[in-house]
Copies of this chain bind each other. A is one copy, B any other.
């Protein structure tokens, strides 16, 4: 059966929302998603805030209760009824994310059982037929069919097949 590998952050879980939320909490300025097109928050904040922003995902709670990307639950559940869907997240960079991501999947994607969840560091280790991801560096190394899922930083990345919603 065809295996579809699906990323978490900014494909099913809205990590951009948490970056914007924590930056506003700390510095009182609310950036918009449009301001992140082709870049990322750590690149557009004042240079003295950059390290703070880069540390956010390493802190406890960053990945807890992230909003679900619009329609992702319904679409992935429909795909999962036909294909073998695995969730594959490069979660290992952020040790406090591991438990929060697992719980988040239990809450929002309970139809993806533990056997079809993967937390890795480098996605060259996984194999499958399709990978839906927002990062070019994950898609570039994938040996199956790579599909870019829209996120603000990748808006100008046009080398691959794309899904915008």
Contacts and interface: CB of A to CB of B under 8 A. Distances in A.
Nearest to A102: B95
A122 B127 contact: no
A84 to B, nearest CB: 10
A114 to B, nearest CB: 4
Interface in A73-114: 86, 88, 92-93, 95-96, 98-99, 102-103, 113-114
A115 interface: yes
A66 interface: no
Contacts of A86: 125
Contact of A125 (B93, B95, B126): B126
Given A98-B99, A98-B102, A99-B98, A119 B118 contact: yes
Contact of A122 (B103, B115, B120): B115
A95 B103 CA distance: 8
B121 A120 contact: no
Contact of A127 (B92, B115, B116, B127): B127
Given A92-B114, A114-B92, A114-B93, A98 B119 contact: yes
Contacts of A92: 102, 114-115, 117-119
Contact of A119 (B3, B115, B119, B122): B119
A57 interface: no
Interface of A: 3, 5, 86, 88, 92-93, 95-96, 98-99, 102-103, 113-122, 125-128
Ranked 7 nearest A-B pairs via Cβ? A115-B121, A98-B98, A92-B114, A118-B120, A119-B119, A115-B122, A127-B127
